[in-house]
Amino acid sequence: MVERRVVITNRLGLHARAAAQLVRTATRFQSFVRVERIDGSANADAKSILSVLMLAAAHGVELRLTAEGDDEREAIEELSSLFAGGFGEREP
C-alpha cells in the first residue's frame, strides 16, 4: 500500500466537478483507492462520487490518499498530480 498527503489548492475545494475528475481518474486503476481527511474525521472510496463529496473538503484541507493494488504507484502519482494542479482550475 502506498500513501501520499495532499492539500486542496483550488479555491472551490473538492466540489462536484473536481470530485468527478478525481473519481474518473481513480476508476482507471485497479487498485483500491481511498481518500481521507488527515484528522480522520471522514474517509471516502475514491471511486464513488457521492462518497468523495461527503468529505466536504474545502480549500486548504489536508487529505491522505492511499492506494492498494497492482497499479498503486501509478494511481497515487496521477491522483496527487490532480491535487497539485488544482484540478485544472485557474486562480482568479
Partner 1 sequence: MTEKTDSKAADAEKSGRVAGVIVTHGHLASELLAAAEMIVGNVSHIAAVSIGWHDDVEVAHNEVERAMTRVSEGNGVLLLTDMFGGTPTNIASMFLAEGQVEVVTGVNLPMVIKLASQTERESLAEVAKRVRNQGQEGIYLAGDLLSPQKKS
d(CA 55, CA 51): 7
The least distance separating partner 1 from the CB of residue 27, rounded to whole angstroms, comes to 8
- Residue in this structure with the C-alpha cell 466537478, named with its chain if needed: 17
Nearer to partner 1, 2 or 49 (CB): 49
Does residue 15 carry a catalytic annotation? Answer: yes
The least distance separating partner 1 from the CB of residue 49, rounded to whole angstroms, comes to 6
Nearer to partner 1, 12 or 49 (CB): 49
Q: Which stretches of the chain bind partner 1, using CB under 8 A?
A: 16-17, 19-20, 24, 27-28, 41, 47-50, 56
Neighbours of 88 (CB within 10 A): 10
- Catalytic one of 4, 15, 37, 64: 15
- Residue in this structure with the C-alpha cell 483500491, named with its chain if needed: 32
Cell of 3: 500513501
Q: Which residues does residue 66 pair with via DSSP β-bridges, in sequence order?
A: 3, 34
Nearer to partner 1, 9 or 51 (CB): 51
Q: Which residues does residue 7 pair with via DSSP β-bridges, in sequence order?
A: 62
Q: List, by residue number, the catalytic residues.
A: 15
